[in-house]
Every structure is written in structure tokens, then in C-alpha cells.
Chains A and B, each alone.
Chain A
Amino acid sequence: MNKANLSAEELVGRWEERREIKNLMGRYAVSFLLKKEASMFADFWAAREDVCMGLNDGWYVGREAIANWFAAIDRATALKAELLKADLPDKLEGQDLKDLYGIGDFDVKPLGTPVIELADDLKTAKGIWYSQGSKADVTESGPVSYWTFGVFAVDFVREDEQWKIWHLQYLENIKTLCGQSWAEPEKPFPELEAFAVLKDLKLPEPTEKVTLMEYYSPKKPMARFPLPPVPYDTFVNTFSYGYEKEV
């Protein structure tokens, strides 16, 4: 689309849509920080059945798979608060677990380096963001923090006059304990009895198990990230950030 041929009204309309997409992704990323996993799927994702989410280990295809992933995080968050409360009675005794929901976790997924393309038909849009993040998590070693480097690559679709997430990949090539080098083998913190139950805590497996991204190692090829979107007229004429079954 040659923007020189668009009217001022068309241009400002497309700019407003672009801003909406940035706001949507900003709110999505900040929701991890605010521990809103219990409502994120309903708040940000499209209602259609062909939604999908790609993480390093594979694809969560369909509404149920993604909803289950968020629900598992929600349950884990509640459990971690319970364990911290039991571990630190002098600090947390008497406090309601509902009020403590989210303690121990601090998940910052900042979004920078955006490239966004709106389809000419304005029915879909695509964006990629780089996220140099940090995350505190409660593990079998108690609270520990990580540096993370990765990208969000997202297809958006318009539903009821609002932009929604349709396909999303969040792929990390570096996740390393803060204070350690990603170029060296991880030196885990000692396990703690109070958090032993977390050792077996796993999130649901992807519905399509395939390695989309491996963590950095000096003994592996350079990571290949999804490429930024390119201008397109309508979705069938561009590539997808979603799951495509191999044939």
C-alpha cells in the first residue's frame, strides 16, 4: 500500500489502529507483572477456535490448550503464595492467602524494538517485539530470578471492533539465573525442603511438541527468530506466526 495515495482520514485511522495494537500488547505484557493470568486469556485473546500460542517447546493449539496453560499458572501462583506463607510465618502469619496471591513472583516482559504491519484490509495485523526481561519465580530452591532474552511475534485479528491476539509466539533464546553467565552451565541454588513440592510442578505440555527455540549454548547453532512482518494486503497473502501443521 502506498501511503502517499491515502487520504488524511485513512492515514489517521490506520495510525489509531497501530496505537491500539501497541497498547494491547503493552497491557498484555504488563498483565504478567500484575499477575493477571487468571483473566488474561479472556481479556486479550480472540474468541475464535483457531487461536494458538508457541513457546520454546511447542504449540498450544486451540482455546482449551491456551486456557489450560493460563489456568495452570494461576494455580501455581496460589500454591507458591501458600508455600511462602508457611516458610515465612514471622512475616506473613495471619494474612489472607487471597491478599498474598502473586507474592514471590515478579515477571517483567518489557516490549521494545516493535515492528508492526496492518493489513491493507484492516482485518488483521502483525507485530514483533524484542523482550529483554527479568523474572523472579518461586522454585524448589525458593525465590530466584532470571534474565531473559526473547521475542514476541504476534498475529492480531479484529473481533467486535477490537483487536485481539490470534496467534502468539513467545520464544526465549536466553534464560539465565541473574548473577550467572548464559555462556556457562547453570549453577542451581540448593533445593529447600519448604519448596520441595515445586520440583514436580509442571505446566501443561504443548499440544504439538516441537522445538521452536533452544536456549543458548556454545554448542548449538545461532538461534533463528521469527522475522519481522512485511507489508501485506490481506492475511492469506502473508506468512503466519501461528501453528502450521507439517504436511
Chain B
Amino acid sequence: MNTKVFSDDEQIRRVWDMEEVKDLMARRAYMYMQDMRRQEIEMLWVQKPENRETAVFGSNWGFYLGLDNISAWYVGEHGNLRQKQLDEISKNDPAVENKPENLGFGSAIAAPLSTALVEIAGDGKTAQGLWYSIGQRTDPNGDGTASAYWVCGKIGADFMKEDGQWKIWRVVEAPDIIVTPGDAVANQSVFWEEGANLMENLFGTPTVSVTAHDPTFNWSDDFPHAPKAYYTYDPKNGCCPEGVLNDWRPY
């Protein structure tokens, strides 16, 4: 709970804190859709060593802990995937040059943000937010065709102020629905077969493997959380392994 009473001056600065947090997360969305992942990590995420160490990137299947691990997967493995895709495209169509400017050829990706719910900590040091994203991911198959998907789910994030500027500290992307455009979701099997979930495959091998969100049961697990008013950051309510709730599932 945050029961602190703020002065007018404090209040209007907190109003701006909320706007800056929303802008920051939106900037991330624009970088994400242009594969500017290295720039995102360098410009938008925490940079102080102690904060880098506690940075988190999570999804339904677990968490990458620490910004170096996050970068290795989020930037490194994604870059490898794009290079592999381009290798294949160039091999099949020599007119497409295999050069860095062509990375991302044949792909499109977007995780736009809606439904912003943001809380600034009473102590002003951190913030938490939740968004919903109706997005898409389209990857080339290498032979001149591509596979497209609607990807929809919640995106939660924790933020921290470094030298007066808001930075992304922890993110959880929790896809619920993956739908092939032109095909009804009713045609999918009720439970994902092993290796069939695109987003799980792309999530790689996280530092901590745990079921953080299981969309089989809709939003029963409430993860990532809808932030509530709070005074100081508690990882139990955060976008991190400690924030994963288990009491919704009886055993």
C-alpha cells in the first residue's frame, strides 16, 4: 500500500514519472519492431552494474537473470536467427545479398502496447506497469514464403530510476494466444504439443526454467501482475521469479 500524502509539487512530478515510464516502454516497442535490440538494451535498460545484475527478462517458461544473460539471448540468439534466415534466403535467391543491411529480410514483427496500468512507488525509486499487446510475428521460411502469426498477451515491466532517468529493469512477455492468420484457433490442438509453441521455441534456454504463466488456465495465475499502489519495491509483486504465484493451483 502507498498511503503517503504528496504535496502538489511532488504530485506533478509523479504525474510526469508516469508519462515517462509509458513513453519508455513505447520506445522499446518501436525498437523491438525494427530489430534494434542492441540499442534497446544499451539505451533503455538499466546500466549501473548492481542493476544490470538484477535485471530480468521473463516469459511463460522462465527467466533470464542479469543483463548479460538477457543480451546473450535477446540480442545474440535473435541475431543468429536473423543471420540463419538470411543465409537461407540468399542461398535460394542470390539476388538477395547476404549483407548486414539485409538482416530481417522477409520478416515483420510488432508488439504494440495498449491498456497501460502504471504505478509509481511511493518512494519514487521504482515503477511497475502492465500492458496488453495484440501483435504479430512473421518469419521467412527461406524459400520465398513466410509464416505469420498473431501473438497476443500481457507485457509486464518493472522500472528503476538511474541518475534521474527511468530505465527498464525487468520485463515479462506472457503470450496467451498464437493464431495463424486465415485459420481459426479452434483448429489448434487444445494443449500445445511438445516443440509446437513458436514463442516457447524462441525463448531458448532461460537461466531459470519455471512455468510462470500457463495460458491453458487463462489468467488464473495472474502473472505478470496488474500492479497495485505500493511504497517500496517488493520482488514478490515483481516481474521476476519471486513474483510467480503458485497458490492459484491447488497442487
Contact = CB atoms under 8 A, between A and B. Distances in A.
A184 B144 CA distance: 10
Nearest to A224: B34
Nearest to B101: A221
A128 B113 CA distance: 13
A3 B180 CA distance: 45
A18 B136 contact: no
A190 interface: no
A30 B15 CA distance: 26
Interface in B107-142: 107-108, 110, 112-114, 134-136, 138, 140-141
Interface stretch (A7-15, A58-66, A160-168): A7-15
Contacts of A216: 108, 138
A60 B177 CA distance: 39
A36 to B, nearest CB: 24
Q: Bin chain A's interface residue count.
A: 35 or more
Contacts of B180: 181
B41 to A, nearest CB: 17
Given A181-B182, A183-B145, A221-B104, A149 B110 contact: yes
A77 interface: no
A115 B106 CA distance: 27
B144 A219 contact: yes
Contact of B16 (A11, A116, A147): A11
Given A225-B34, A228-B26, A132 B110 contact: yes
Contact of A15 (B16, B30, B144, B164): B16
Contacts of B22: 114
Nearest to A180: B182
Contacts of B108: 149, 173-174, 182, 216, 222-223
B26 A183 contact: no
Interface string A119-151: 000000000101010000000000000010100
B30 A227 contact: yes
Contacts of A11: 12-13, 15-16
Contacts of A89: none
Contacts of A94: none
Given A8-B9, A114-B22, A182-B181, A130 B145 contact: no
A115 B114 contact: no
Contacts of B8: 8
Interface in A218-247: 218-225, 227-228
Given A12-B12, A130-B29, A222 B112 contact: no
A169 interface: no
A221 B102 contact: yes
A4 interface: yes
Contact of B23 (A112, A115, A173, A227): A115
Contacts of A8: 8-9, 12-13
Contacts of A224: 34
A2 B13 CA distance: 12
Interface string B214-238: 0000000000000000000000000
A95 interface: no
A129 B112 CA distance: 9
Nearest to B140: A218
Interface in B88-116: 93, 101-108, 110, 112-114
B173 interface: no
Interface string B8-48: 11001101100100110011011001110000000000000
A112 B135 CA distance: 12
Contact of B26 (A15, A18, A115, A181): A115
B210 to A, nearest CB: 29
Interface of B: 8-9, 12-13, 15-16, 19, 22-23, 26-27, 29-30, 33-35, 93, 101-108, 110, 112-114, 134-136, 138, 140-141, 144-148, 164, 180-182
27 contacts: A2-B164, A4-B164, A8-B13, A11-B12, A11-B15, A15-B15, A15-B19, A113-B29, A113-B113, A114-B22, A115-B26, A115-B30, A130-B33, A132-B110, A180-B182, A181-B148, A182-B138, A182-B148, A218-B106, A218-B145, A218-B146, A219-B106, A221-B102, A222-B34, A222-B104, A222-B105, A225-B33
